């Protein structure tokens, strides 16, 4: 008993001090504020807190982009194929801004911040997209022409808050927001890029009627040959091609 507690303490010390990467700890839109899934606290609480974010195993990355883990950051090591649905969801209006509050992010971990959504065909608290092509990109931020990276330059400049807008004309319904940072400090070859995704469950309200017509899957959207997955951030001072499809704005 003592041994396993000590072991757990050592493991979490290593995880937080040596590999201090990050995850989304809070989601805010207007006056609504939700705590994210906290991988170093929530599993030890009884009763487990109800979150709008699907479980993640920790603050580490996914590097094998062929794994289902690249969808919502886990949970194949927990025996779940794909992500485990969370018990609740947020309600946000189409067109509203959503602010995602990241924990401390290492400044070496430069790269793009990308956000996708997927429309749930049924109850989002039970839906698992698996390998289906259901995802469309709603926001992306890479490297500015003067060399500033979305992570970590722009993230630092905004107190670790990344804000994106739900497409104003998006048809109401239940959606997963898949939000990620791709850290490129080791991305000079594949595998190397580190994907830090998480999935947030929302009910989108409004009177829009727009839906995208082309979709990607996770895994599937990214591989070692996708532009922007292999990129030498130390040597290549040129433009950075953000991985994945074009942003869908819903005609707005
Ligand atoms: C981000 O979330 C943390 C934890 O809830 C909070 O302490 C911090 O103030 C938030 N940051 C901002 C800029 O709101
Ligand atoms: Cu790291």
Query: In DSSP terms, which residues pair with 102 in a beta bridge?
Result: 24
Would you state the pLDDT for residue 80? 72
Residue 15 placed within a domain: no
Would you state the pLDDT for residue 251? 83
Residue 214 placed within a domain: no
14 falls in which pLDDT band (50, 70, 90)?
Answer: very low
Once rounded to an integer, what is the mean pLDDT over residues 197-220? 97
CA of 27 to the centre of ligand 2 (A): 22
Q: Which of 27, 101, 104, 162 to mutate to test the pocket of ligand 1 (most atoms within 8 A of CB)?
A: 101
10 falls in which pLDDT band (50, 70, 90)?
Answer: very low
| Position with higher pLDDT, 16 vs 109 | 109
Confirm if 52 and 89 have CB atoms less than 8 A apart.
Answer: yes
CA of 25 to the centre of ligand 1 (A): 8
Once rounded to an integer, what is the mean pLDDT over residues 102-127? 96
What is the distance between the alpha carbons of residues 53 and 223, in angstroms, rounded to a whole number?
25
Supply angle C-alpha 85, 222, 228, rounded to 5. Answer: 130
Would you state the pLDDT for residue 147? 95
Domain with 139 in it: what CATH number?
A: 2.70.50.70
Would you state the pLDDT for residue 48? 93
Half-sphere exposure of 242 (CA within 13 A, CB side): 20
Confirm if 192 and 210 have CB atoms less than 8 A apart.
Answer: no
Residue 218 placed within a domain: no
CA of 174 to the centre of ligand 2 (A): 32
Q: For ligand 1, is residue 26 a contact (CB within 6 Å)?
A: yes
DSSP element (H, E) containing 8: helix 2-17
In terms of residue numbers, what domain contains 29?
21-205
Would you state the pLDDT for residue 82? 72
3-state secondary structure of 216: strand
Residues in the chain: 252
Would the pLDDT of 210 be above 80?
Answer: yes
Summarised one tens digit per residue, pLDDT across range 152-198 is: 999 999 999 999 999 999 999 999 999 999 999 999 999 999 999 99
Residue 12 placed within a domain: no
Would you state the pLDDT for residue 77? 65
Residue 164 placed within a domain: yes
11 falls in which pLDDT band (50, 70, 90)?
Answer: very low
Q: For ligand 1, is residue 162 a contact (CB within 6 Å)?
A: no
Residue 232 placed within a domain: no
Once rounded to an integer, what is the mean pLDDT over residues 225-232? 98
Nearest CA to ligand 1 atom 5: 26
Summarised one tens digit per residue, pLDDT across range 123-150 is: 999 999 999 999 999 999 999 999 999 9
Share of the chain above pLDDT 70, in %: 90
Q: For ligand 1, is residue 157 a contact (CB within 6 Å)?
A: no
What is the distance between the alpha carbons of residues 95 and 150, in angstroms, rounded to a whole number?
22
Report the domain count for the chain.
1
Confirm if 144 and 62 have CB atoms less than 8 A apart.
Answer: no
Residue 229 placed within a domain: no
Query: In DSSP terms, which residues pair with 214 in a beta bridge?
Result: none
Residue 225 placed within a domain: no
**Can you give 115-168 as a three-state secondary structure string?**
EEEEECCCCCCCCCCCCCCCEEEEEEECECCCCCECECHHHHHCCCEEEEECCC
| Position with higher pLDDT, 12 vs 105 | 105
What is the distance between the alpha carbons of residues 211 and 82, in angstroms, rounded to a whole number?
24
Q: Which residues contact 57 (CB under 8 A, 6 or more apart)?
A: 39, 73, 74, 75, 77, 78
Would you state the pLDDT for residue 74? 78
């Amino acid at each position: 008993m003592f041994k396993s507690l000590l072991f757990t303490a050592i493991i979490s010390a290593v995880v937080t001090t040596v590999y201090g990467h990050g995850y989304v700890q809070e989601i805010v839109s207007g006056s609504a504020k939700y705590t994210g899934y906290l991988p170093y606290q929530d599993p030890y609480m009884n009763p487990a807190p109800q979150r709008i974010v699907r479980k993640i195993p920790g603050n580490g990355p996914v590097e094998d982009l062929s794994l289902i883990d690249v969808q919502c950051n886990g949970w194949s090591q927990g025996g779940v194929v794909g992500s485990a649905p969370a018990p609740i969801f947020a309600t946000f209006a189409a067109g509203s801004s959503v602010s995602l509050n990241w924990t401390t992010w290492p400044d070496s971990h430069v790269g793009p911040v990308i956000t996708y959504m997927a429309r749930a065909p049924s109850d989002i608290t039970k839906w698992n997209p698996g390998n289906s092509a259901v995802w469309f990109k709603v926001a992306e931020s890479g490297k500015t022409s003067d060399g500033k990276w979305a992570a970590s330059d722009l993230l630092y400049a905004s107190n670790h808050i990344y804000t994106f807008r739900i497409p104003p004309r998006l048809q109401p319904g239940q959606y997963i927001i898949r939000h990620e940072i791709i850290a490129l400090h080791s991305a000079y070859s594949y595998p190397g890029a580190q994907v830090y995704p998480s999935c947030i469950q929302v009910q989108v309200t409004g009177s829009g009627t727009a839906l995208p017509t082309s979709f990607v899957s996770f895994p599937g959207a990214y591989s070692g040959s996708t532009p922007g997955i292999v990129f030498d951030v130390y040597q290549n001072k040129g433009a950075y091609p953000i991985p994945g499809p074009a942003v869908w704005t819903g005609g707005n």
